[in-house]
Amino acid sequence: MNRLRRHLLLSLASMAAIAPAHAQPAYPTRSIRLIIPFGAGGGTDNLIRLLEPHVSRSLGQPLVIENRPGAGGIVGTEMVARSEPDGYTLLALDSTFVINPGLFPSLPYDSARDFAAVTILANAPVVLLAHPSLPARTLQELVSLAKARPGELSYASGGNGAPTHLAGEMLKTEAGIQINHIPYRGTGPAMNDIIAGHVPLGVNGLSASRPHILEGRVRALAVTGDRRAAAFPDVPTFAEAGYPGVEMYTHWGVLVRAGTPQAITAKLADAFNEAVLRPDLRPRLTELGYVPAGGGPVRYAETIARETAKYTAVIRAANIRPD
């Protein structure tokens, strides 16, 4: 009898120990809100809307996309920083997340403390462009021209502190040249003035530049990255042209509020990685200029730390200030 009683007590204790785990509802049990801190139609928005049906199907719940633009991505990012750490509010964003800490004297959140990485989704190189009238058909010829005419040439970017701006500053440092930066409110207006010849040079995303390069409106001199772009195999990388320090990739990723359970973060990472690495999506992603990445929380956290430090150093050295 005593043996049976002890057995029953042990069984009850075991059941009590595992009861809290069973009491936890499976994730997710309702729709998931995904904040994009930029307007519709941009690089982050286009990428997420391609992935959304596959991620929703994988998770078994709808992914509800909300565009919350403002202040260079800060408005939407702050919303996620103030959300509950339960995996039901996500943040999808680009390289502005690692640039803003060095660009702004203060932010309404702590990039390192308030967020947890889910996964990096994709990368995209940037390209150095020249108007066809510029007498420089290669990067080496441009550097020689800039050294012969210091301070006379200018380049356009999508704005102060934009990835395209930082790439231009990296080139100035690496090549030891003096070219003037002209910031625009977005890459579209910048590209329009490069095409029109109002500005002889520009740095832009490869996907946005692709049709203009193909039509001969602008000339591609070099691309960032460790390999040539598949769409333009004849265009050398900056490293091949002799300037390996010009290392700039726009990247896109997903974050959650710090404190979100690791099991939830891992499940989200699996769903997004599965979507972005789908073989049937790769041609469309490549066509739009994305290089699918995937990975997970550790890889993305390492990328965030590395790139935040790198771009903060560039911003300080060039004394860049936000618009």
pLDDT in tens, 178-189: 999 999 887 888
Q: What is the distance between the alpha carbons of residues 285 and 277, in angstroms, rounded to a whole number?
A: 10
| Residue 83 forms part of a structural domain | yes
| Residue 211 forms part of a structural domain | yes
93 lies in which domain range?
Answer: 32-123+249-318
* Residue ranges with strand state E in 80-139: 89-93, 115-130
Q: What is the distance between the alpha carbons of residues 138 and 85, in angstroms, rounded to a whole number?
A: 50
Residue 77: both structure tokens together:
């990012």
Average pLDDT in the 78-106 region?
95
- Bridge partners for 33 per DSSP: 64, 89
Q: Where are the alpha helices (DSSP H) in 115-205?
A: 139-148, 163-175, 187-196
Average pLDDT in the 57-74 region?
94
pLDDT single digits (tens) 305-314: 999 999 999 9
Indicate if 66 and 116 belong to the same structural domain. yes
pLDDT > 70 fraction of the chain, expressed in percent and rounded:
92
Pairing of β 249-257 and β 89-93? antiparallel
Indicate if 183 and 215 belong to the same structural domain. yes
CATH code assigned at 108 = 3.40.190.150
Closest CA to 203 of 240, 176, 172, 228: 172
For position 63, what pLDDT does the model report? 97
| Residue 129 forms part of a structural domain | yes
pTM: 0.82
Indicate if 217 and 283 belong to the same structural domain. no
pLDDT band at 30 (very low <50, low <70, confident <90, very high): very high
| Residue 261 forms part of a structural domain | yes
For position 24, what pLDDT does the model report? 52
